[in-house]
Chain A
């Protein structure tokens, strides 16, 4: 497990990101993406620093962070597995794929395995709708999931 950085360190690294991006038009989303890339999540201690840098209230920043599915309040597992659960994948059995993976990993959606190896999330469309059912593992796309590919994925996230 990665150590949680101290709040002063979060503040200084956040301030650097804010400084770098604050002159963009509409800088908040690029800043939040930058922070999530830096820490793997958007730490609570980063919010006042962003608010201060952009002359917003903490409530406004909190409101934006919590609106979007992408921004995490806590770190994810070492791997992030997203399973498409939208209609095109449903038509090719994504329900059964999800059930099997949940059973193999012993977790449900929005959960992380106890050993911190993997976080499982639903995603509503990866644009791979002619290659359903599809998934994304740590940013890599996988199409036409079958038992063999499911086993490979599970083996990879457990290694």
Chain B
């Protein structure tokens, strides 16, 4: 058997030099006259170990990382093709603590094999869910997804099965499945990782959604900042079509389902579902008022399921192993697993899929290992640019939709950004307003005007101008934005702003006092 070397082609790994490592390994193989196959897999998500190179040995996979091009010669000298010891040696990848501690359901296959090999996908349980689904009545599929307790992983947490039921019950000559892959929140990369590392699981999930609701056409709307995900998804759709996973007879059944990959154009607000639908239709990505719900009048006015990548990618395992299996994980009304993305100033950054219920402190301190700079953690922003900043005092909050809401926060798309004690929370609050101003679609006044006035008011605070009055003004403005905006952009921008003010009041003291305090 010729040796197999796995070098990730995931953008995170590429950003850390995986391409140079792959080229150096190929060159070294040629120079030494060794025959070996290089497989470009996805990433397993332990980015602090990327580029993580794996070799298949008689005893199973052995990982090395983070590998630099300068390590390659010595890796060969240490006999890494047989799992030999080296300073970058990590042992069996699934025994690496960061990976061993996870519960991988949605990401079970991500990063293990060539993402475009349908055979590899099937060898690890792929397509079983779809096979079950094609033999079931649509209502039974919807029931199974509903019973699993799966809620929208994009951030809103709406029960997926209930959304599907509305589309199933709504008559339409044409229905659509739209996958929201406009993953614009800072600290999030789960959608990108699965599209680059296990694209067939998303395709399978969308096909199941189509069969369950009577939709025959799907769109994946991917942000333009993800060129690698776009390329992988396009190629995976072609492979799936050729293999009969997509087409007029899905897996040989009478069900038709096909899909297209579409690319966004750099507008953050298009991650909001109605704005995304307008963008897909070729319009300005302006938010639509609800009702009508997209499930009733969505894309081109037709009944439409619009779900996040991770929601759809979690469906195959539910249809394979059953609702009870999935529901068994989690806490309270948050069932199943959630891919937590640990980002920013953190020692062990990466994707950590776990059942709901871990505390924020466990995630940041134990899994994340504290800050990368080694300084104390000051704040953690949970849920992207629209999520609240949590201080250490709230580290006992369990990762659960309701628990975060109870502490005036949100889990959103489950990205967390760690900041050390050099962070200036006034600056972060100002950025939240500034970002909202840059990205506002302009439809509603609280968001469009409020964000700009918010920046100006925080600037006055920073300059020490009438601090009490301006602090009251920001608070009042946040209240207007929260309750008066049409969508989550204007409506949730108050979360990072108000949480900064509430939990870090010392950073909002007038400038002279701040200087004196230092």
Binding site for B on A (CB under 8 A): 24-30, 32-33, 54, 63-64, 67-71, 86-92, 123-132, 134, 136, 139-144
Q: Which residues of chain A come closer than 8 Å to B15, judged between CB atoms?
A: 126, 128, 131, 134, 141-144
Tell me which of A69, A87, A92, A140 has the highest count of chain B C-beta atoms within 10 A of its own C-beta.
A87
Q: Is A26's CB under 8 angstroms from B281's CB?
A: yes
Q: Is A88's CB under 8 angstroms from B343's CB?
A: yes
Q: Is B11's CB under 8 angstroms from A127's CB?
A: yes
Q: Is B14's CB under 8 angstroms from A127's CB?
A: no
- 15 new A-B contacts, CB < 8 A, other than A70-B264, A136-B225, A144-B15, are A26-B281, A67-B285, A68-B264, A91-B423, A125-B184, A125-B188, A127-B12, A130-B12, A130-B189, A130-B346, A130-B349, A130-B351, A134-B15, A142-B15, A143-B16
A88 to B342, CA, bound (A): 10
Q: Which residues of chain B come closer than 8 Å to A54, judged between CB atoms?
A: 282
Q: Which residues of chain B come closer than 8 Å to A70, judged between CB atoms?
A: 224, 264-266
Q: Is A91's CB under 8 angstroms from B417's CB?
A: yes
Tell me which of A63, A71, A126 has the highest count of chain B C-beta atoms within 10 A of its own C-beta.
A126
Q: Is B185 an interface residue (CB 8 A)?
A: yes
Q: Which residues of chain B come closer than 8 Å to A25, judged between CB atoms?
A: 217, 260, 300
Selected from A26, A29, A67, A127, the residue in CB contact (under 8 A) with B226 is A127
Query: Given A27-B282, A29-B279, A87-B417, do A129 and B349 touch, yes or no (CB 8 Å)?
Result: yes
- Please give the number of chain B residues whose Cβ is less than 8 angstroms from any Cβ of chain A in the complex: 66
Q: Which residues of chain A come closer than 8 Å to B192, judged between CB atoms?
A: 127
Q: Which residues of chain A come closer than 8 Å to B265, judged between CB atoms?
A: 29, 32-33, 68-71
Q: Is B285's CB under 8 angstroms from A68's CB?
A: yes
Query: Given A26-B282, A142-B15, do A126 and B262 touch, yes or no (CB 8 Å)?
Result: no
Q: Is B267 an interface residue (CB 8 A)?
A: yes
Q: Which residues of chain A come closer than 8 Å to B47, judged between CB atoms?
A: 130-131
A67 to B439, CA, bound (A): 10
Q: Is B307 an interface residue (CB 8 A)?
A: no
B373 vs chain A, min Cβ distance (A): 8
Q: Is A124's CB under 8 angstroms from B439's CB?
A: yes
A54 to B381, CA, bound (A): 44
Of all chain A residues, the one with the shortest Cβ separation from B419 is A91
3 nearest A-B residue pairs (beta carbon): A28-B282, A130-B349, A143-B15
Q: Is A87's CB under 8 angstroms from B226's CB?
A: no
Selected from A88, A139, A141, the residue in CB contact (under 8 A) with B186 is A88
Q: Which residues of chain A come closer than 8 Å to B113, judged between CB atoms?
A: none
Q: Is A129's CB under 8 angstroms from B187's CB?
A: yes
A81 vs chain B, min Cβ distance (A): 14
Q: Is B279's CB under 8 angstroms from A92's CB?
A: no
Q: Which residues of chain B come closer than 8 Å to A86, judged between CB atoms?
A: 186, 385, 435
Q: Which residues of chain A come closer than 8 Å to B183, judged between CB atoms?
A: 127
A126 to B281, CA, bound (A): 25
B302 vs chain A, min Cβ distance (A): 10
Q: Is B263 an interface residue (CB 8 A)?
A: yes
Q: Which residues of chain A come closer than 8 Å to B184, judged between CB atoms?
A: 124-125
Tell me which of B266, B381, B420, B435 has the highest count of chain A C-beta atoms within 10 A of its own C-beta.
B266
- Contact mask B224-236 → A, CB, 8 Å, 1/0? 1111100000000
A128 to B439, CA, bound (A): 20
Of all chain A residues, the one with the shortest Cβ separation from B268 is A124
- Contact mask B361-388 → A, CB, 8 Å, 1/0? 0000000000010000000010011000
Q: Is B445 an interface residue (CB 8 A)?
A: no
Q: Is B350 an interface residue (CB 8 A)?
A: yes
- Contact mask B471-508 → A, CB, 8 Å, 1/0? 00000000000000000000000000000000000000
B414 vs chain A, min Cβ distance (A): 12
Q: Which residues of chain B come closer than 8 Å to A124, judged between CB atoms?
A: 184, 186, 268, 385, 435, 438-439
A131 to B13, CA, bound (A): 9
Tell me which of A27, A68, A130 has the highest count of chain B C-beta atoms within 10 A of its own C-beta.
A130
Q: Which residues of chain B come closer than 8 Å to A63, judged between CB atoms?
A: 284
Q: Is B11's CB under 8 angstroms from A141's CB?
A: yes
A68 to B182, CA, bound (A): 14
A135 vs chain B, min Cβ distance (A): 9
Selected from A29, A69, A87, A141, the residue in CB contact (under 8 A) with B187 is A87
B452 vs chain A, min Cβ distance (A): 17
A125 to B15, CA, bound (A): 14
A118 to B34, CA, bound (A): 42
Of all chain B residues, the one with the shortest Cβ separation from A131 is B15
Q: Is B32 an interface residue (CB 8 A)?
A: no
Q: Which residues of chain A come closer than 8 Å to B351, judged between CB atoms?
A: 130
Q: Which residues of chain A come closer than 8 Å to B179, judged between CB atoms?
A: none
A24 vs chain B, min Cβ distance (A): 8
